[in-house]
Amino acid sequence: AQKITQTQPGMFVQEKEAVTLDCTYDTSDQSYGLFWYKQPSSGEMIFLIYQGSYDEQNATEGRYSLNFQKARKSANLVISASQLGDSAMYFCAMGVNFGNEKLTFGTGTRLTIIP
């Protein structure tokens, strides 16, 4: 079974600063993927970034990067130059590769950007 832990229920960050959202995971599988989703107050789930367990380089997508430390089983999301529109809930999730495995989500971090 997979488990995702997000230990920061809420964070406040000044606009234009960088922010790191923590995520640790637990699995016995060797091939898996880690995902970050953003959920604004409107409720939809917006895919941000993906990291495969065999990817040697950290994933980046625009202002988002994933700090993947496999030995520590952590997959932290880094948002550079935060913007007011980044205020939302952020969920870390994992899924086992191959087949049709479900995604297992963490409890989320509510990020608030302060102007």
Partner 1 sequence: EPEVTQTPSHQVTQMGQEVILRCVPISNHLYFYWYRQILGQKVEFLVSFYNNEISEKSEIFDDQFSVERPDGSNFTLKIRSTKLEDSAMYFCASRPRDRVNNEQFFGPGTRLTVL
**Residues found near partner 1 in the complex (CB under 8 A):** 33, 35, 37, 43-45, 47, 50, 52, 91, 93, 95-108
CB of 84 to partner 1, least distance (A): 22
CB of 43 to partner 1, least distance (A): 5
Backbone angles phi, psi at 40, to 5 degrees: -70, 175
79-113 exposure pattern, b = at least 16 Cβ within 10 A, e = fewer:
beebeeebbbbbbbbbbbeeeeeeebbbebbebeb
CB of 24 to partner 1, least distance (A): 15
Query: Smaller CB distance to partner 1: residue 82 or 95?
Result: 95
Query: Smaller CB distance to partner 1: residue 57 or 100?
Result: 100
